[in-house]
Amino acid sequence: MEIISPADRVKMEQQLKELFAQRPIIATRIAEARANGDLKENADYHAAREEQGLNEAKIRELELRLKTAQVAADSVLPKDMVFLGAVVKLKDTATGKTQLYKLVGNMSDEDADWIEVTSSSPLGVALMKSRVGETVRANLPRGEKHFEIVAIVE
């Protein structure tokens, strides 16, 4: 089960609306291309059909994610507990290097001063519900890493 923030839910619902709005536009393109004749060698027709398939696949994906996701409510969380939306300062216990990480429901496309970590990733799972002062262990692609939670910045 995926845990998402209320903002992530709103963003996904908006994406879904935009994809639904594309349906009639794509259907019109298919109809226009079909009117041009032979479908075997009609590149416009095949491109429109491919676009339709990709659009429908994205709609199904978003509908499933919205149906199965749990929306996190942060009103009852302790201030020293890491949860969705928290920006956390972590110190790599091996190198001593500190860096900011933000725990998100899904990756955004915005530039930020932190590294976004999804709640379903190995580091996200390790961080979820941990507290300031604790050391967490995450099995990352490059091996096991240990991080001390120095502070919750936001």
pTM for the model stands at: 0.57
Beta bridge partners of 135: 148
pLDDT higher than threshold 60 for residue 128: yes
Q: Buried (b) or exposed (e) across 28-42, using 16+ Cβ within 10 A?
A: ebbeebeeeeeeeeb
pLDDT higher than threshold 90 for residue 22: yes
pLDDT digits (tens, 9 = 90+) for 38-89: 777 888 889 999 999 999 999 999 999 889 887 776 555 567 777 777 788 8
Query: Which domains can be identified in the chain, with CATH numbers?
Result: 3-71 (1.10.287.180), 87-152 (3.10.50.30)
Q: What tokens were used for 78? A: 């302790």
| Residues ≥6 apart with Cβ < 8 Å to 61 | none
Cα separation, 13 vs 120, whole angstroms? 20
Higher pLDDT: 28 or 80? It is 28
Query: In the prediction, which pLDDT does 107 show?
Result: 55
Query: In the prediction, which pLDDT does 125 show?
Result: 85
